[in-house]
Amino acid sequence: MTEGPLLWYLNRSTGFVILALFTITTALGVLSLGSRAGKRMPSFVTQSLHRNIALLSMALLIAHAVTAVVDTFVDIRWWQAIIPWWGSTYMPLWLGLGTLGLDLFVIVAVTSLLRARMNHTLWRSIHYLAYVGWAVSVVHGIGIGTDIKAATPWAYAIVGTSVAVVLAAAVVRLGRAATSRVAEVRP
């Protein structure tokens, strides 16, 4: 175990990079729903990009959790990084939300690896947990993030932009769905 600013900086920076990457992954997932990524880019491209960025995000998420546990400045035990709200003394609500987000992303990743062996409807239902994981993780970052608490403008900009990107993707997706329904109804 070690103390010092290096692990704190690593934990903090991976948190922001993870937010950006999971935001891109979530937006790509929203936009590629229904296997219609758009007219400008084939769906296999967006699906591959979605999958690869999600994989990178998962690796950084594990690094984020490990640095939080290994850094002794704050007492976070290894099981608190896996089991939400179990015995946490350091900011239990916010840490628990981060743990819940990690657990949801792990469930989504594992079931995605098993997708070919699963019922598609079940896989898709589980995959929707990624949206919950993203939202919970954003709230975790807002509640526990030292840069947010310090009202650092760039931290607000990253979080605000992330939320705006996912909301914009949802609006585009809903617009596409509405347009498709209108086109189907027309003779």
Q: How many CA atoms lie within 13 A of 72 on its CB side?
A: 4
Coil, strand or helix at 127: helix
Q: Where are the domains of the chain?
A: 5-185
Instruction: Give the count of beta carbons closer than 10 Å to the beta carbon of residue 109.
Output: 16
The model's pTM is: 0.83
| Rounded-to-integer distance, Cα 57 and Cα 37, Å | 21
Report the half-sphere exposure of 113 (CA within 13 A, side-chain side).
8
CA angle (133, 18, 14) in 5-degree steps:
130
DSSP H/E element including 59: helix 43-70
Kindly state the tokens that stand for 36.
């219609």
pLDDT at 18: 96
159 alpha carbon, distance to own chain's centre:
12
pLDDT at 37: 47
pLDDT along the chain (187 residues), means of 10: 73 92 93 61 77 94 93 85 87 93 96 93 94 96 83 90 96 81 59
